[in-house]
A and B are shown apart, each in its own frame.
Chain A
């Protein structure tokens, strides 16, 4: 239902102009052919420049004027808020005026009136002034009272004519709030205002009047931009039109519409820069503008700042569907300039050549929020409303130039717009092209083409980069190859078929033959344990010196330890390399372990030491290590044999005589790769672990390669000592004492030896380092130092008569020790077949051997150590073994050894160690008697 309806309204004024005293009457049409209607409950805006006929139109609705032609239909009670003070008698008090006016509105006295008065007084905030004559009122008070009156008389239609501008901010806010309330309660409100923001916010629809005619009518948000295009200095307004597109330049502002739908919103398109002199940003609409030229497709306009120091020239060109916008600045160069283009918030999606996304919801009231999207390939940004909203077209922004510097913002929700911003190019000019696509299909086609060419270009670029990378890689590869060859030539030493190569890259030493590398994994290397940590070659700094083609010096500097290792490799004999490893200790150090390790490929399938040989068959892996058990690990040399059809052998040995090494052979597994490993471990007795500053030779030996290599038995007597009395002979050899009677060896394997189990780990006396202290007549004294545990034993061996050996062991514990078991053993030849503990038990030995000890069928007897001894008999002279001590804590055991030694074993074992303090005591004394 229409609250107000105008049908072909014409309104004329006759005006008298007095020119030089002569009166000239002129007719002026205030309104021409006005047709519109306002629906009930609508908030309707009437905008236009001064003199456009807005007030006349309102007066017609109010009935204050009557149309000259046409018909005005108004249904409902009208209340007006037009001229300030209209309808008030200044001589009367506010209250009296309210009463009089209320009567006009048909509210008679009584409760209703009283209530209305109270409401109006409360709203206007007049307080006691309500009872003062209105001539004493301020303008604001007038306005508030008028507004209060106008709304509280409960009109059906409220007319407001730009009077709300009067009054302070709070009063205005109150009024605005009230208008919103009225709008909510379904009143019809017609507003005339120059405040476009208010019109935008309040009004559903609006009409734009220009010189008495309706220029535009429709949704307020649509009509307002037309008004903004119109107002302003006429010298600074120009219009471009092409097809449905219409670009209006209005004094430093650009507005752009497509078939009556505005693409711009609020300030539209404008230039903005930071002015240092006023320390603030200046928008282009603050300049004074002059249109320089207008062609059918082009506008050139110049804007000058108030002081003339700064000017800029805009060139706008509209061709087909594309608006080109170029801004060049003159004079004082602007700081941080940019072009801004504000779009309605109905544009909700953005598209670049590589990505797309949605605009987020507004979060600030006034502040702009940058979207953070800053990758705009080719400087192209598409903006659409999805789903298509009314007639809004799709847009593509192009900011040409290498570095387009596009940015996208959400304005505050007050402005309710999206802003596309372009930064300045190198030369200070800014350019932006705006393409308009009425149909999304055209937009997609255009975008698709752009994308395609961009991706082609990108692909080309990628190919180019790839090719360049390829070339670079090849160059680097070739360089590396050359370098490697150079390094290879410089960092190796060759002796016949054998070459040792120092690989500085992986910090490893490799042994090569002409057929390839023999080593594997870490090759040949030396490690040591100090400060609770193993140190590998790669922990040090390598320095290689090639003294000559036959001599190579490698220095490994373990910087934080102040410790250096020197490798000296020389080629003397054909197919052999001699090496010497020295260690220089700067500050003194405690070295617990020191190993020389060779890891090699499985082209070697068997090994041979002086005493035994075997295959590198993989045993049981425990923690990726599968040890191969050796009968005698105190050997210095080993030969590795490759496959039968390849007779090559590798010799790896240390200089004989320095017997303080134990060899171990095992297979290792790292990440499913298996290596065979030979490990020479230095035996460093506990007492010898502290090294003073100085230079020590650690390992010295030889690597040889060839078909002819054989392992000759070396004279092992060096370092041995023997006692002989009658037919009885005892040879002490590094922690084992072998017994001979009538030149037949009674013992086997480890012979007479002692063993200790600490923390579950067995250490036998032959792994200790022995010194010979004295030899007097039939008596020798030797001193053995156990590596790794703080124990030493002093043995006294005496041939007390022709058949008897007295074995006395003193044990020193000089540190904290966890000792589980200690044993004194005699390993005897398998020629012995039966055993007896006189008066206790007797039996026969089995001729089978196991992998392990302590397994029952092969442990034939054990029992408390009594005064009686253990006796064995067989094809060899009988032997009895008897303790001379009271044997507290000892027990006796008779068993077979494991299969490696394949021997008989009789032993005294002590298991109960009460307190292991630092002490030195007699641990064992016993007699071994040979019974012929």
Chain B
């Protein structure tokens, strides 16, 4: 059953590619700056955070902006992908009526589109990180593995949310609140070490912490994440994938009836 679906998905991979690209284009379609928004948004946010925390709260950290950027880019990917995936079935219900269409492409394409968006931003900003640590180039394979894991993790949650989103139309509103809270408990503009020991568990129970931390390590600190960390990330990704798709398949028949 799953194999058949995978086979069909593979045959129609072209459609997935089209859809993702289309969604990416739609994101900036009609905008003056187009694809540059993939950079502008994180950079502006990073700059404003830099201003608030360096100038107001006087955090003493060299190249703080780059540090924030290293975390905020993957965060945006995660945040946007999940948000879009959640409402993807509602938005794309028309295409679902074309019976032959593989349903899983809908959340998948949302996640992929944002991955591309993330990739573009990263490619544009990578030279700044390289200015800081020219040797980052050696850690790129590790970065790609990390991105892949991050993608799988996001996809799992995205598929889950897309399914739940059909049942629970206000999930999107819930998510915006959750993401607000989540943003703060995720060490994007701070590092875990900065957090009071009493509250560190909040960060450590948050799986995203490990991903963001890994990004920061590679891009900002130019150090490879520990093997333990990588294994943890691996595990989290697989769990997310399993839980996400498991739940999706479970609710799929009912889901179809509701579209």
A interface list, Cβ under 8 A from B = 13-14, 59, 61-68, 77-80, 82-83, 85-89, 100-101, 103-106, 108, 159
Contact = CB atoms under 8 A, between A and B. Distances in A.
B131 interface: no
A64 B256 CA distance: 7
B197 interface: no
A77 B99 CA distance: 11
Nearest to B101: A104
Contact of A77 (B94, B100, B256): B100
A67 to B, nearest CB: 7
A106 B12 contact: yes
B38 to A, nearest CB: 23
Interface in B92-110: 94-101
A67 B253 contact: yes
Contacts of A66: 252-253, 256
B11 interface: yes
Interface string B71-101: 0000000000000000000000011111111
Contact of B99 (A14, A59, A108): A59
B253 A65 contact: yes
A550 to B, nearest CB: 123
Given A103-B15, A106-B12, A64 B253 contact: no
At the interface, is chain A mostly helix, strand, loop or mixed?
Answer: loop
B100 A82 contact: no
A643 B11 CA distance: 129
A877 to B, nearest CB: 149
Residue among B11, B12, B257 with the highest chain A CB neighbour number at 10 A: B257
Nearest to A80: B99
B14 interface: yes
Interface in B1-48: 11-12, 14-15, 18
Residue among A67, A104, A108 with the highest chain B CB neighbour number at 10 A: A104
A651 to B, nearest CB: 125
A62 B100 contact: yes
Interface residues of B, number: 18
B100 A103 contact: no
7 contacts: A62-B99, A64-B99, A65-B257, A86-B97, A103-B14, A106-B11, A159-B99
Contacts of A85: 94
Contact of B94 (A61, A65, A89, A104): A89
Contacts of A67: 253
A14 B253 CA distance: 12
A135 to B, nearest CB: 13
A688 B15 CA distance: 128
A13 B15 CA distance: 31
A13 B257 CA distance: 7
A83 B11 contact: no
Interface in B235-257: 252-254, 256-257
B99 A82 contact: yes
B72 to A, nearest CB: 33
A137 to B, nearest CB: 15
A87 B253 contact: no
A67 B253 CA distance: 7
B98 A104 contact: yes
A65 B256 contact: yes
Contact of B100 (A68, A78, A100): A78
Given A85-B94, A87-B101, 8 more contacts: A78-B100, A80-B99, A82-B99, A87-B95, A103-B18, A104-B12, A104-B98, A108-B14
Given A63-B99, A65-B253, A86 B94 contact: yes
B75 to A, nearest CB: 32
B109 to A, nearest CB: 12
B97 A82 contact: yes
A921 B132 CA distance: 173
Contacts of A105: 100
A83 B99 CA distance: 11
A404 B252 CA distance: 67
Contacts of B253: 65-68
B97 A79 contact: no
B48 to A, nearest CB: 35
